[in-house]
Structure 1
Amino acid sequence: MSPLKVETGPMFSEKTSTIISGIHRLERAGHQNNVNFLVINNKIDIRYGDNIIGSHKGEKYPALGVADSHQLLDLITQETGSDRKIRPGFSQLVAIFIDEAQFFDSGLPDVLEYLDDLFLQSTGREINIHIAGLDTDFARRPFGPMPAIMSKAIEVNKHTAVCTVPNGGGKLCGQPAVYTQRLVNGEPPNYDDPVVVIGAEETYTARCRHHHVVYNKPKPK
């Protein structure tokens, strides 16, 4: 597979900032959005507005909202009988950036691999794919297609945030935060609560292993 790079870790760990930085590098090299590269976000994520990726640092960038992996495939390719070909407007693509990849379906890893093969066959070159997404959900379970995507990647960067739980004396914990903590009315959730609830700082925070809490987590059988 082509150079597939993954930025993962909890919320507030600057994964999207890293993606946006990569986009700006391409722009400085003269590449254009929707011509030489695509920026994709899952339609479920509208925290920063429709068709926008955004970071908790306030950075934003226009994106194409996509509902699932099949829609992504249809966006970039078109059917030609029993086969597919790259749409004319995207023949000059050199990179695809995808944010919030954990919200996609299990077909995303195979679609990415198919697109890479198709570009290599059609243009003689690979396409760079840069992914950002949560590796685990609020209960520390593998999240969506991220494990499969990470298994195909040539580079996986595990980001951490900072645990901001008060630690006495007016100070915060400050340890590396590796998990996303969901808070419902200020309280940790139950293990069986719904996985997907879009929110921001008032709903989620990042915590270290010591301070991460999930109620009623079942014991191994």
Structure 2
Amino acid sequence: MNNWLENHGYLELIIGPMYSGKTSKLIEVYNQCKLSNINVYVINHRIDQRYDDKLLSSHDKNMIPCIQIDKISKFIQEYTDNIPENSVVLINEGQFFDDLFDNVLLLVEKYNLRVYISGLDSDYKRANFGQISDLLPFCDTISKLHSFCSKCKNGTRAIFSQRISNEENQIVVGSENYLPLCRKCFIKTT
């Protein structure tokens, strides 16, 4: 077995706007782990229950079992005593966890786990969202995904999420409340 994997954790961020395939990428990693008989734990924030309260689901309704919680610390308290080193932990909707930073570093650097986090890299105002950007300096890999602009409709890459509801809170759940936009269209609408 590879000694590097035996002794080191790993951190990958999968970030981007709405509809960019972040959750689908996590599901792909999950399926690869299962095929390779790697222990994998899936964490989804309790606020995100798109189609089921016990399954992580992509927008196209691919689903995998998950642990629904609102604190990463709760996962650490309940599971880490029984998790073998080199297990994989997948965290969906990372921007919603208010204890993400310290606890992810604990999972990676103390428990030597391989952690993949998907989430929005900014909110609908293009401001930092949660603690995801705080983890950038600690990452082994950062994957920035893109969608297609829903206004241009010509294949232009979307890098921002525009809120189309009138809510003022930073957190408004529901894909029906957002559109992926390119820079040009985002600037036109603000």
TM range, smaller chain: 0.7 to 0.9
Instruction: Give the aligned length.
Output: 183
Which residue matches 1:91? Answer: 84
Change in 2 beyond 3 A, CA 1:104/1:128: same
The question of whether the paired residues in 2 share the 8 Å contact of 1:139 and 1:214 is answered with no
Which residue matches 2:162? Answer: 181
Give CA deviations for 1:125-179 in whole Å, capped at 9, x if unaligned. Answer: x3211110000001110110111122211110111100021x5xxxx24310000
Root mean square deviation of aligned Cα? 2.0
Q: How does 1:66-215 map to 2 (within 5 A)?
A: 66-76=69-79, 86-88=80-82, 90-91=83-84, 94-105=87-98, 107-119=99-111, 126-165=112-151, 167=152, 172-184=153-165, 189=166, 193-200=168-175, 202-212=176-186
Which residue matches 2:5? Answer: none
Structure 1 or 2: more helix by fraction: 2
Q: Distance in 2 between matches of 1:146 and 1:116?
A: 15
Rg larger for: 1
Which residue matches 1:10? Answer: 17
Q: Distance in 2 between matches of 1:113 and 1:206?
A: 30
Q: Distance in 2 between matches of 1:75 and 1:118?
A: 16
State the TM-score, normalizing by the size of structure 2.
0.88
Q: CA deviation at 1:75?
A: 2.3
Q: Distance in 2 between matches of 1:94 and 1:87?
A: 12
Q: How does 1:42-81 map to 2 (within 5 A)?
A: 42-76=45-79
Question: Any idea what SS the aligned residue of 2:185 has?
Answer: coil
Q: Distance in 2 between matches of 1:155 and 1:41?
A: 21
Letter matched to residue 140 of structure 1: R
Question: Any idea what SS the aligned residue of 1:206 has?
Answer: strand
Q: How does 1:32-43 map to 2 (within 5 A)?
A: 36-43=39-46
Change in 2 beyond 3 A, CA 1:197/1:30: same
The question of whether the paired residues in 2 share the 8 Å contact of 1:181 and 1:213 is answered with no
Q: CA deviation at 1:214?
A: 8.8
